[in-house]
Structure 1
Amino acid sequence: MRLLQTRAELAAWRQEQVGRLLHFVPTMGSLHGGHQQLLRRAAEPVSASRPAVLLSVFVNPLQFAPGEDFARYPRDLAADAALGEAAGACALFAPAPEELFPGGPGELTRVIPPVSLQETLCGPGRPGHFEGVATVVCRLLALVRPDRLLLGEKDWQQLTILRRVVADLALPLTVQGCATVREADGLACSSRLRYLSACERRQASAVREALASAFTLWRGGTGSAAALTGAVGRHLEAAGLAAEYVQLVHPSTLRPVAEADGLSLLAVAARCGNTRLIDHVFLMNRAPIVAIDGPAGAGKSTVTRAFARRLGLLYLDTGAMYRALTWWVRERGVDPTDPGAVAPLLEGLDLQLVMEAGGEQRVRVNGHEVSEAIRSPEVTALVSTVAAHACVREALTRQQQAMGQQGGLVAEGRDIGTAVFPDADCKVFLTATVAERARRRSVDLAQRGFAVPDLADLEAQIAERDHLDSSRPVAPLRQAADAVELVTDGLGIDAVIQRLVDLFRERVPEDAWPGPTPIPVP
């Protein structure tokens, strides 16, 4: 592993990485298991390509207030280098203050995060702290120019603020949060745990125990912020710990909430002797729902299925449901344009989506296996017509909402985020240009053995379907106000899936929904 101590050395090393993904883990040193996990995650291959991983160690004086532990903060660069290399770092950037602040801290341009994100949790008790963090991290990002910045979810407020700073400054990188790593006794990994004596270490375990008791209380039906924070405060007091704050906030805005509804963050800061400890637990009333909408041919089904597997969520192919009904309409010889004729077919409709062991979804309607038949050009040409009938939308929407009552699914279609699951935790409008969708459609038809029309004809068909879908009176195709548009032209499937994962993780942290494994009880 290379040791880089000057900006010139960093620039030379950075030049050697041109054409290679660069993932960055900034730290203040005194590395522990949490840092090592960040480095291991940073080193994971991306589309079979292994990124370069840069670790930085810099004890940032700008984020310490007078009287805090800047002078005694543990420093051991040799040990950090060994741990970093073992975890997969390619290089270690360990600059002196004058390398980052050539004119001194007083001459440095400061980055001031939104005030609203500093009004709760650690903000009031540590004035200037997050300004110091944001300023130095932005300075490091400007020098390193990484593709991905990895940070721990343990410092949730810091992660939230840095995500906002990166977004507001339009910095060309992705911020990835990684789950909190804990010691064997349940304490969140922290460099400051080294300050604790053996007796204080046992006493400090009350922080996690207090959050666990509040979690149990919430599981029992108590959602009041006053009741939950009061329970944590009493537990800490009984253990002899001084609480700086105990708050229930919205994870994205960090604003206090009166009730744990949806996804909430119960966070605490407490002092054990002279050591300040922070921890949290997420309270999530149901498993997450992801709504992926977009026009026909944007590749929703392919990426949504793979995305669902990666996140441990069920895949609900609503488009297949409408296609299956359309197939049944044709099979019964019913006029697809006549809602009065279609409506009787909805009574007693047995429509099943079955996920096989290999991850493939099979579609059955009234005992007929139709997984391949519903993809025919004849069905495709009539789906928008059948789906536009109010009776059809109402019947299938009710069925979809029943499937999603407990959450834990990814649904894709035309109106998932607007009509079916308007309270979805993550909404994406997945689209592509008409030309790109026509090209994909021609490839798909050829692979399935169907005749392939001219691209110009395919483009005209797709444009007409877009018009029908977006202009229908019932549940028209449109992007939900809180959905993120993702244009997939020029992106491979893996890149689209990764982008979906990143969007999901901005809204649902790993600490709340770790993935295919069950949610851990604190």
Structure 2
Amino acid sequence: MKKIVIAIDGFSSNGKSTMAKSLAKEIGYIYIDSGAMYRAITLYCIQEGFFENDTLNEDKLQNQIDNIKIEFKLNKTSGLPETYLNGVNVEANIRSMEVSSKVSIVSAIPFVRRAIVALLEKMGKEKGIVMDGRDIGTVVFPNAEMKVFVTAKAEIRAQRRFDELRSKGDNKTTYEEVLENLKSRDYMDQTRKESPLVQAEDAILLDNSYMTIDEQMQWLIDKFKQITTN
């Protein structure tokens, strides 16, 4: 069976990363979380004090961008990759609301996107990868053999994100705050000048608003088999 590149794009909080990780594990591919890379850079900016409220000092970030090292290492217990920032496991930290509220600001910066895209292109040369993000099928891998664009109703995505935060011990953030943050991110992702969020013309649309995880996984595997066996 030939190896391919699988690009999964779509709106935030629709389970892209979870489905991409599960699919990669199921078919024996390598999973690369591009969104986690932007989140890791955002966390770095927060830790280094590059933000003043929602204003980012882009000059300071540009001077430091070459010193930011992002890696993915497998968790031996779960068998899934986790994000490391300059040698430190930040998988939990990058999922916080503080990072979520600022990641669209960082990801809209052209020099940040160019740096990430260059790194992702290197990772994908050997194929046999599953990658998710906002512009994987349109910018990073426009020739990917399998492209999926994932969407779901905003209210459903907000509820999923809210439930995730509660499960991780966040009892302060309200559902309304999550929904507002999500809508704001959707707008910024779709209207930014550098690589805006759009569905690639040859991408398959997956609306998972009312799908179970098992139904979603079966849908992905069926599409994968159709593409790799033809």
* 1:205-232 CA-partner distances (Å, limit 9, x unpaired): xxxxxxxxxxxxxxxxxxxxxxxxxxxx
Give, in angstroms, the shift of residue 410 of structure 1.
Answer: 0.2
User: Compared with structure 1, are the counterparts of its residues 489 and 380 closer, same or farther at alpha carbon in structure 2 (3 Å cutoff)?
Assistant: same
What is the letter of the counterpart of residue 476 of structure 1?
P
SS of 2:206's equivalent in the other structure is strand
- The equivalent position to 1:310 in structure 2, one of 26, 35, 43, is 26
- Relative contact order, CA 8 A, sep 6+: which one is greater? 2
What is the letter of the counterpart of residue 345 of structure 1?
Q
Quick check: 444-453 or 289-298, which moved more? 444-453
Give the 4+ runs in structure 1 shifted more than 4 A: none
- The equivalent position to 2:56 in structure 1, one of 321, 337, 341, is 337
Which structure features the higher share of helix residues?
Answer: 2
Note the residue ranges of structure 2 that are not aligned, 5 or more in a row: none
Report the equivalent of 2:15: 299
SS of 2:150's equivalent in the other structure is strand
What is the letter of the counterpart of residue 344 of structure 1?
N
Tell me the C-alpha RMSD between the 2 structures.
1.5
- The equivalent position to 1:351 in structure 2, one of 61, 67, 70, is 70
Report the equivalent of 2:193: 473
Report the equivalent of 2:127: 407
Report the equivalent of 1:143: none
Q: C-alpha distance in 2, partners of 1:393/1:338? A: 16
Give, in angstroms, the shift of residue 445 of structure 1.
Answer: 0.6
* 1:261-286 CA-partner distances (Å, limit 9, x unpaired): xxxxxxxxxxxxxxxxxxxxx8x5xx
Q: C-alpha distance in 1, partners of 2:172/2:162? A: 6
Report the equivalent of 2:178: 458
CA contact (8 A) 1:445 1:452 kept: no
Report the equivalent of 1:397: 117
User: TM-score, length-normalised on structure 2?
Assistant: 0.93
Give, in angstroms, the shift of residue 494 of structure 1.
Answer: 1.2
Note the residue ranges of structure 1 that are not aligned, 5 or more in a row: 1-281, 513-522
CA contact (8 A) 1:293 1:429 kept: yes
The alignment covers a number of residue pairs equal to 226
User: TM-score, length-normalised on structure 1?
Assistant: 0.42
Give, in angstroms, the shift of residue 457 of structure 1.
Answer: 3.2
Quick check: 303-312 or 350-359, which moved more? 350-359
Report the equivalent of 1:417: 137
Q: Which has the larger radius of gyration?
A: 1
Q: C-alpha distance in 1, partners of 2:126/2:75? A: 21
Give, in angstroms, the shift of residue 452 of structure 1.
Answer: 4.8
Q: Does 1:320 align with 2:36?
A: yes
Q: C-alpha distance in 1, partners of 2:88/2:47? A: 11
| Identity of matched residues, % | 35
* 1:402-449 CA-partner distances (Å, limit 9, x unpaired): 011111100001110011111111000011110100110110010011
Q: Does 1:375 align with 2:98?
A: no
Q: C-alpha distance in 1, partners of 2:219/2:60? A: 43
SS of 2:73's equivalent in the other structure is strand
Q: C-alpha distance in 1, partners of 2:117/2:137? A: 12
Give, in angstroms, the shift of residue 337 of structure 1.
Answer: 2.6
